[in-house]
Chains A and B, each alone.
Chain A
Amino acid sequence: MTLGYYPGCALKAHATSLEYGISTEAVLAELGIEFQEIPDWNCCGASAGHMTNSALTRALNVRNLALAEAAGLTDVLAPCPLCAKELALANNEVKEDAELLEQAQDAAEMVYKCTARPLTLVQYLHEQRDLVRERAAGKLPDIPVACYYGCLHTRPPDAMGFDDAEQPTTMDELCRILGLQPVEWSHKTECCGAGFTMSKPDVVARLTGRILGAASLAGAEAVVVACPMCHANLDMRQGEAAADAGLGDDFHMPIIYLAQILGLALGIAPDDLSLGTHFVDPSDIVARLRGEPPLETPGDEAPEEK
């Protein structure tokens, strides 16, 4: 069965999180998974839609789900958990309330029979963990990493229906399969500030400071994420976060996508996973993950390359 693929605005369009899109597609191809982008998908509404107009968000997402259904794609992989949540929430709401379904179908001008199933990347890979084990078990060294789920992978529990809302373990399990050493830490599901990255960056600084601090305290040498907003917030504002927390020095914590980690384990080259476009230079840890000797002088800025 072909996997439906909903990249979302953050992964496509040369957006801020293009790494996630590139690495996800590379990994799916390498694993031999046939996937198809939902034809003519539209934005899920993200934070702005969810926060300011629920009817609009529902209609936008019913359109996406109906498009997937019409293309014969029932499993819809949405690597961005915010997109996945909006799709799942809309799906749940219209399944339970016929009036809402009618309103959404009317606005979206499409018929939706409620057969689609949105998935996050973590959920999908966890379902495919036997394949992951077969292809990439133990391929990475046992570097301690903090698996960061963010607020949306497991919440709201009714909509996401996946893993434990308070102490999730699926991403940790996947990393362990690959050979990494996921640490026990306290901020797995604490919010990073999400959509406030431009409109209220001091909140992002505060929240990411707490997260990065907890990850450091737990002895992690990198944070593994599976959300483009989390990546952007954790990767791009470490200086401000450190300043807000009153620390003398920057965090220097590489933030790597789960798809990139899996890609490295499958032997894909770092450039093909867009590991060169992060703010916090991950070259050192990437080298160690690939079993190469560490670089001599890790800078705190990645080299300027496209």
Chain B
Amino acid sequence: MSRIGVFICHCGENIGSVVDCERAAKTLASHPGVAYSTDYKYMCSDPGQNLVKKAIADHKLTGVVVSACSPRMHEPTFRNAAADAGLNPYLCEMANIREHCSWVHEDKEAATRKAIELIRLMVEKVKANEELQPIHVPITKRALVIGGGIAGIQAALDIANAGHEVVLVEREPSIGGHMLQLSETFPTLDCSQCILTPRMVEVARHPKIKLYTYSEVEALDGYIGNFEVTIRMKARSVDIEKCTGCGACMQKCPSRKILSEFNAGLLVPDPENPKKKLGYRTAIYTPSPQAVPNKPVIDREHCLYFQKGKCGVCAKVCPTDAIDYTQEETTVTEKVGAVVVATGYQVWSVAKAAEDYPYLGYGEYGYGTHPDIIDGLQFERLLSASGPTSGRVLRPSNGKEPKTVVFLSCVGSRDNEKGFTYCSKICCMYLSKHAMLYKHKVHDGQAYNFYMDIRAGGKTYDEFTRRTIEEDGCIYLRGRVSRIFPRGDKLVVQGADTLSNAQVEVEAELVVLATAITAQPDAEQLAQRLRVAYDKDRFFSEAHPKLRPVESQTAGIFFAGACQGPKDIPESVAQASAAASKAAGLLNADELEREPVVAQVHRAAPPVYSICFGCFFCERVCPYGAIEREEIRDRGGNLIKTVARVNEGLCTGCGLCAASCRANAITLRGFNDEQLFAVVNAIGEEQEESKAATP
């Protein structure tokens, strides 16, 4: 016998000003199966919740319907209240009479009748509800961090220091990411490598961190608490156990003219010997002198041994016999319970774009083919003491010191037509820093910065940009640059200064473009491999932009750093620690409690076993990969049939499988056929009821 409690919320004026809650409560009181019906101003408040708990006890309620806002707001609140009072939480439902009623109608009489109807339908549903128990899944107390830049490093250290094992996978030969390439960081002008390398070493030494470098994540299977990651370890051609990092191989390698990725492809003529260019790397190389691990890899595409079968010098000079040309790619799997994605960003190029991207490139800046037009990362390498010129600012065209440097903001950012609509956030600050450092190194040089706005919102950021203008004499011109073209051995920069209402022309010796920072080129593929959402610019999508910035919409996967959107180092570190705390919190529990509103495939006794006939259409439609195949065998081990089975850990209860199943073999618990038909059948019975109940 049903004894349902109905609680109608006024929600202040939100519902109360349109729906006559008192009348609704009176009407519902006489509905069959309703044992208690009342209305209240704010149900979600403590007194409101206590009202529910008291009524459950006093009236021995078998079900509760709270008629208020959307269940997305307070379903957990009221279910917890019901649980506190000893009622199974899944016997508590909400009827939405705010978003679905009072907020969208103006006719009070009609709205009240509609609210009564909505509540009535929900009462009918609750009568058919079953008690459900939360699902418990075990947790592997290890975390995976994808990406070894500053965000990945911070996340890995935080999780490891919280006491859990971390698997850190980095695809470059060394961890450190873009931060390792920088010279000094704003606003403190700390040497980037000096503040980063201690953390890198800590990661390498940490007993709880297992570091895979020169490796990529091939696949991620499983579900929250129970992931299995497949890692592809690329062949270094060096045995890292034997290698001591002495560097003899690099000194002797004859292939010395390969563009260095770490130097962002920058080449500068040697001022002592202009025919020679600085900035190359060798075929066997470590990306930087501070690489962690400090063990080289062989770039097989440029190595003479692999391309032509010649040379082999590195193997000859290696004192510990660490070179192994026969080394092959291997695949390993690791089990983890949580994943932090920290794959970072790439710096966009103004060159004529690749086929699959709809970006045209900047022809008005020469498509970046002129050697003296470089991007921000290349200028960092120029400034860096570990760079091609050991920190001297020199022109890539002739190796001389430029006396006029022009910086351009917003190249590709905030550009609806040729680039990306968003702001890349870090460029205003790093250009200001570049101008400052340039002036510190070239005392008689002049810097110009063509900007649109100055975005300096962080702590002491604005003061930093003012120093560039007031102390280092950089001229800030407010306007974009229309065209850059060579004239003689200089570059003519044609821009605007809207503050002077003028077109301005500057003859530059070096031009630095602050090109947009974008998602990694394979961000889309990685997102699909991990089954996380991403946006139109291929940045990964957080669960809620305001309140859940480091969680993905996929349970157990978190984001940190620039892969979620452009941001600077302090923000990346903050996000990394936030993601780490979420991951650690997840791993702290012994078991994971999951909502039981999941799908279930019909099982029965032999000889039926299941009305599922194994078409696996559900498998095709499930967005979460939660359908597995189960083989039903007899005692002799013979296969009877293969049916679908729902992985309750992965299932989010979306109901697509239940809706698509041709045999009607799948039920969504909490929304089974009986419950749904109860609602549908009750529609339209309203007329008799309300006529009887209306005073």
CA distance A118 to B177 in the complex (A): 52
> Please, what's the 1-or-0 string for A164-187, where 1 marks a CB less than 8 Å from any CB in chain B?
111100000000000000000011
Q: Which 4 A-B pairs have the closest CB atoms?
A: A166-B363, A186-B485, A167-B363, A166-B364
Closest Cβ of chain A: how far from B277's Cβ, in Å? 22
Tell me which residues across on chain A come within 8 A of B367, comparing CB atoms. 167
Closest Cβ of chain B: how far from A170's Cβ, in Å? 14
Tell me which residues across on chain A come within 8 A of B308, comparing CB atoms. none
Tell me which residues across on chain A come within 8 A of B485, comparing CB atoms. 186-187
Tell me which residues across on chain A come within 8 A of B362, comparing CB atoms. 166
Tell me which residues from 360 to 411 in chain B have a Cβ below 8 Å from any Cβ of chain A. Answer: 362-364, 366-367
What are 16 of the A-B contact pairs (CB < 8 Å)?
Answer: A164-B363, A165-B363, A166-B362, A166-B363, A166-B364, A167-B363, A167-B366, A167-B367, A186-B485, A186-B486, A186-B487, A186-B492, A187-B485, A214-B487, A217-B487, A217-B488
**A interface secondary structure, majority:** loop
> Please, what's the 1-or-0 string for B619-631, where 1 marks a CB less than 8 Å from any CB in chain A?
0000000000000
CA distance A201 to B214 in the complex (A): 65
> Please, what's the 1-or-0 string for B481-492, where 1 marks a CB less than 8 Å from any CB in chain A?
000011110001
- Chain A interface (Cβ < 8 Å from any Cβ of B): 164-167, 186-187, 214, 217
CA distance A165 to B364 in the complex (A): 9
Tell me which residues across on chain B come within 8 A of A217, comparing CB atoms. 487-488
- Chain B interface (Cβ < 8 Å from any Cβ of A): 362-364, 366-367, 485-488, 492
Tell me which residues across on chain A come within 8 A of B488, comparing CB atoms. 217
Closest Cβ of chain B: how far from A147's Cβ, in Å? 15
CA distance A167 to B362 in the complex (A): 10
Given contacts A164-B363, A186-B485, A186-B492, 11 further A-B contacts (CB under 8 A): A165-B363, A166-B362, A166-B364, A167-B363, A167-B366, A167-B367, A186-B487, A187-B485, A214-B487, A217-B487, A217-B488
Closest Cβ of chain B: how far from A279's Cβ, in Å? 27
Tell me which residues across on chain B come within 8 A of A164, comparing CB atoms. 363
Tell me which residues across on chain A come within 8 A of B486, comparing CB atoms. 186
Q: Quick one: which of B362, B363, B488 has the most chain A CB within 10 A? A: B363
CA distance A214 to B494 in the complex (A): 15
Tell me which residues across on chain B come within 8 A of A214, comparing CB atoms. 487
CA distance A166 to B482 in the complex (A): 11
CA distance A187 to B494 in the complex (A): 13
CA distance A165 to B367 in the complex (A): 12
Closest Cβ of chain A: how far from B358's Cβ, in Å? 14
CA distance A167 to B487 in the complex (A): 16
Tell me which residues across on chain B come within 8 A of A167, comparing CB atoms. 363, 366-367
Closest Cβ of chain A: how far from B403's Cβ, in Å? 21
- Output the nearest chain B residue to A167 by Cβ-Cβ distance: B363
Closest Cβ of chain A: how far from B421's Cβ, in Å? 20
Closest Cβ of chain B: how far from A61's Cβ, in Å? 27
Closest Cβ of chain B: how far from A151's Cβ, in Å? 13
- Output the nearest chain A residue to B366 by Cβ-Cβ distance: A167
Closest Cβ of chain A: how far from B447's Cβ, in Å? 24
Closest Cβ of chain A: how far from B170's Cβ, in Å? 38
CA distance A164 to B486 in the complex (A): 19
CA distance A166 to B492 in the complex (A): 16
CA distance A217 to B490 in the complex (A): 12
Closest Cβ of chain A: how far from B482's Cβ, in Å? 10
- Output the nearest chain B residue to A190 by Cβ-Cβ distance: B483
Closest Cβ of chain A: how far from B686's Cβ, in Å? 50
- Output the nearest chain A residue to B369 by Cβ-Cβ distance: A167
Tell me which residues across on chain B come within 8 A of A165, comparing CB atoms. 363
CA distance A149 to B642 in the complex (A): 69
Closest Cβ of chain B: how far from A14's Cβ, in Å? 38
- Output the nearest chain B residue to A187 by Cβ-Cβ distance: B485
CA distance A46 to B81 in the complex (A): 79
CA distance A52 to B394 in the complex (A): 51
CA distance A214 to B487 in the complex (A): 8
CA distance A165 to B488 in the complex (A): 24
- Output the nearest chain B residue to A188 by Cβ-Cβ distance: B485
Closest Cβ of chain B: how far from A220's Cβ, in Å? 14
CA distance A187 to B486 in the complex (A): 10
Closest Cβ of chain B: how far from A217's Cβ, in Å? 7
Closest Cβ of chain A: how far from B489's Cβ, in Å? 11
- Output the nearest chain B residue to A186 by Cβ-Cβ distance: B485
Closest Cβ of chain A: how far from B567's Cβ, in Å? 32
Tell me which residues across on chain B come within 8 A of A186, comparing CB atoms. 485-487, 492
- Output the nearest chain A residue to B484 by Cβ-Cβ distance: A186
CA distance A187 to B485 in the complex (A): 9
CA distance A217 to B487 in the complex (A): 8
Closest Cβ of chain A: how far from B87's Cβ, in Å? 64
Tell me which residues across on chain A come within 8 A of B487, comparing CB atoms. 186, 214, 217
